[in-house]
Amino acid sequence: MLVLLDECVPRRLRAFLSGHDVRTVYDFGLVGLKNGVLLRRAIMAGIDAFITVDRGMEFQIDLRALPFGILVLHAHSNEIDVLRRLTPQIKAALEDLRPGQLRYVSE
């Protein structure tokens, strides 16, 4: 599964998501783009899942039109030491994530 990490998610999280091809917005040259433009570019990149900590994505875009799913991480901080503890839940959510679906992963 090709997974894209938003710029608000620490790049080092990818090391904890073995079994997936995890890239960052930096890898694709998508840094600084607004969510709508970013997600359109992600479609062109052929990703299967997008991971972010941005809340309210479901109000910004039409999820049904997306050929990939979105995971929103909810934690008291977006620091790597906090988010890496969510790794088991993230991996489980990725296994069940479907196109056009938004799922939350929480502490």
The pTM of the whole model exceeds 0.85: yes
Provide the b/e sequence for 64-80 (b: ≥16 CB within 10 Å): eebebbbbbbeeeeeee
Token couple for 39: 């997600």
Q: What is the CA radius of gyration of the chain?
A: 12
Is the backbone of residue 38 left (phi > 0), alpha (psi -120 to 50) or beta?
Answer: alpha
Per-residue pLDDT of 66-103, as tens digits, reads 999 999 999 999 999 999 999 999 999 999 999 999 99
Per-residue pLDDT of 18-60, as tens digits, reads 999 999 999 999 999 988 889 889 999 999 999 999 887 777 7
Domains parsed from the chain with CATH numbers: 2-106 (3.40.50)
